[in-house]
Structure 1
Amino acid sequence: MYEHFEGKKGCCTPQRSEHLHLTPEGNASSGACCMKQDASTSGMVRLDGGRFLMGYEGPEAWIEDGEGPVREVCLDPFWLDTTTVTNAQFAEFVDATGYVSESERFGWAFVFIGQLSGSKQRKLRESKTVQGLQWWYAIDGASWRKPEGPGSNVKKRMDHPVVSVSWNDAVAFAEWAGKRLPTEAEWEYAARGPSVQTMFPWGNELEPGGKHRCNVWQGLFPDQNTEDDGYAWTAPARSFRKSDWGFYNQIGNVWEWCSDWFSPNWHAADREETRINPKGPASGESRVMKGGSFLCHQSYCNRYRLGARTANTPDSATTNLGFRCARDA
């Protein structure tokens, strides 16, 4: 069941291999058909939209990801959650609808090796690792409820981002909440704030004045994690200083799903659909992810930059992948 998992070179998240023909048990939309009765814009920021410079071209760019070209994009007004969806919020959704996540129906999810006990690591078969990304393990029983597998839980992490949720899970939550996933352009516009073509929401230095502004890897990846920023893995959703526009942790902590299908070149063409409220190509194999995670490090995966991007298949779930929601204004 676990052979031949795929990893994208230089990327922090593995994906379920399509050629394994794995099918989760049960109905993906089961129990998630009803909208939350008190759906509102509480906990969201309204953004006016307008024109901004999207993308990145420079020495740090991953050319194969299609970070460039830098282009002017125009957006309509929209709302965006100030934080990623937390374990508490996702638990409320599950309790209200009976929704069963894809990881629970598949019976496993990906867990970073450092999050597993030494004894558990020794017991795992080599076939459960990801080719090219041997620090990821496919763990039976891992899900949003038990991110590191049997024996783990989120009781003391209810204010942390929910993880091990697929794109499909995120869409189900958003629909229940009367919201949607942000487009890649909306996500990047919100994360950039008033800055123009900076690396991060606060400027071009990762640690301005020697102060940590986000939760990313410190030390030598993947074996030494010094936790200098205060966190080994996820941090609470409201950690660190919020951005000028009122958002928390859009850089680091967890990757965030966007609504777009991923393409490295669709946006390169200068036409109306790529420049005015772009929503990505009409089809694809993977969905866009933005922001980086607690595993990102400049020596390995420096995709915690605003213009960086990557993707994963809609059914994939890892311990460093979550989401936040948007809403039309």
Structure 2
Amino acid sequence: MNIFKSIPLFIIIFVSCQSGAKNKETVNFPDSAAMCYTSAIPSRFSAIQKDSLEKNMIGEDKSEMVMIEGGTFEMGSNSFQDAQPIHKVTINSFYMDAHEVTNAQFEAFVKATGYVTVAERPLDPKDFPGADPSLLVPGSAVFKAPNQVQGLQNHLQWWEYVPDANWRQPEGPNSSIKGRENHPVTQLAYQDAEAYAKWAGKRLPTEAEWEYAAKAGKHQQETYYWGSEKLENGKWLANIYQGEFPTKNSKEDGFENTAPVKSFPPNAYGLYDMEGNVWEWCSDYYRPDFYQNSPKENPKGPADSYDPQEPGAIKRVQRGGSFLCNDNYCERYKAGSRGKGEINSPTNNVGFRCVKDLS
């Protein structure tokens, strides 16, 4: 049985460490959720009016959606190996959620359907021969700021598998989404996001659609999706990590964890938080070499997943970075960069937004 199809990857690491599994060094926590590789010309679409019935709509989940008029753009980045080569891609028009799906929206979905997320489901001891059954409890990974670290190579210094951590209590049993109804929902595996999208009559975006919408008509390569400067009038333009990662978050942007949607300025298309806040699931499987042979029109990603760092894991693309991204450790919130996540490994810095085809 393929354990990657049934359980969070983080529990694999946790149990492997407990049971002394020989292959524990080859199974790592997905870097897009915890870490990253270390390594504006206005368009005619920027004049989209938010009160135009032709350009905006309300989704079946009552979410504001923005019509993204199709076109051709240069996809990728020379700053990241798996985002090369930069190549021209043509995208059809589509609608996109103006902001990430919130806790309140996901709660409405759960109430309507009775859906149970991956992080809430029990684990089968048969998948972990020799493991202590008391360790096999529902839960997910939570960022925990350590007092000190011994280098930045071992990300388990700041990630912890927390029993009963899930979308209702993102940091574990002592946390809650009460008062955070307007924050992006987190602790969702890929199938959880996909289930919501189907219920809402939508789908998850392709990474080409996501990047096209994030660049918002810019035809030049910039450091960030909003431009070349990190700050504007002394203010941060995204919810990312300031200070000394991972021990001291100076919270210069006003937030330690997730921020309510629409806390930062939208891009030229009227989309919020396309950089920072939470990583967003895309529908594409992840392969680092896909751009070498990507279709020129409406690419939907490769037929399967392959990550040479973790050959046995099934991964999908994640985009946009999160509140844990920073220039010293995780730079993949920057324009054109790609993230990746094992499909059954929810964390408290990964969420999603939906898109809808034009009828």
Decide whether the 8 Å contact of 1:111 with 1:139 is kept in 2: yes
Counterpart mapping for 1:1-329 below 5 A: 2=14, 3=17, 4=24, 6-7=28-29, 11-13=32-34, 39=60, 42-57=63-78, 61-63=79-81, 66-106=82-122, 107-114=138-145, 131-196=154-219, 197-269=221-293, 274-284=295-305, 285-329=314-358
Q: Percent identity?
A: 44
Give the Cα separation in 2 of the matches to 1:234 and 1:144: 13
Decide whether the 8 Å contact of 1:215 with 1:231 is kept in 2: yes
Evaluate the alpha carbon distance shift between residue 212 and residue 131 of structure 1 in structure 2; reply closer, same or farther with a 3 A threshold. closer
How far residue 195 of structure 1 moved from its aligned partner, in angstroms, is 1.3
Task: Tell me the secondary structure at the aligned position of residue 274 of structure 1.
Answer: coil
Question: TM-score scaled to structure 1, two decimals?
Answer: 0.82
Which residue identity lines up with residue 268 of structure 1 in the other structure? Q
Give the Cα separation in 1 of the matches to 2:189 and 2:97: 18
Which residue identity lines up with residue 178 of structure 1 in the other structure? G
How far residue 40 of structure 1 moved from its aligned partner, in angstroms, is 6.8
Give the Cα separation in 2 of the matches to 1:149 and 1:156: 16
Give the Cα separation in 1 of the matches to 2:258 and 2:285: 26
In the other structure, the counterpart of 2:125 is none
| Structure 1 ranges of 4+ moved more than 3 A | 130-133
Give the Cα separation in 1 of the matches to 2:62 and 2:180: 24
Q: How many aligned positions are there?
A: 285
Task: Tell me the secondary structure at the aligned position of residue 6 of structure 1.
Answer: coil
Decide whether the 8 Å contact of 2:183 with 2:260 is kept in 1: yes
Gaps of 5+ in 2: 1-10, 18-23, 36-58, 123-137, 148-152, 306-313
How far residue 12 of structure 1 moved from its aligned partner, in angstroms, is 4.1
Once the two structures are superposed, what CA deviation does each residue of 1:215-236 show, in whole Å capped at 9, x if it has no partner? Answer: 0000000001010100000000
Decide whether the 8 Å contact of 2:284 with 2:300 is kept in 1: yes
Decide whether the 8 Å contact of 1:103 with 1:143 is kept in 2: yes
Decide whether the 8 Å contact of 2:33 with 2:347 is kept in 1: no
Give the Cα separation in 2 of the matches to 1:12 and 1:174: 21
